[in-house]
Amino acid sequence: MVFGFGTPKHPEVTAQELDAMLRSGKAVVVDVREVDEFESGHIPGAINMPLSTFQPSRLPDTAGKTLVLNCLGGKRSAMALDKCAVAQSAVDTHLAGGFGAWQSAGLPVER
């Protein structure tokens, strides 16, 4: 296995999978980018919880929905998931390729 490739450390969903989950009311998105990045464009309905102040204990109760973390490319959401794992949070999924993949897929952006 080449470093950085192979099985992802955390479960991932594609932009298309996340879009379908959101449309069917099965997911809640938490965007861990900083406030200025979030304000410049984000997945519609996403909740902003910047990585710089991220605390797993402050994640919203999703009432049985899958909570999916995202950032710009996937690195910061993986770091947030590492924090979730340490805190023994059940949150373990993020958006593969982050917001960049969402935009590349031509999916809606909220500003």
Contacts of range 62-66, beta carbons closer than 8 Å, 24 or more positions apart: 62/28, 65/25, 65/26, 65/27, 65/28, 66/21, 66/26, 66/27, 66/28, 66/93
pLDDT digits (tens, 9 = 90+) for 44-97: 999 999 999 999 999 999 989 999 999 999 999 999 999 999 999 999 999 999
pTM across the whole model: 0.92
pLDDT of residue 6: 59
- In the CATH scheme, what is the code of domain 12-104? 3.40.250.10
List residues bridging with 68 in a β-sheet: 29, 93
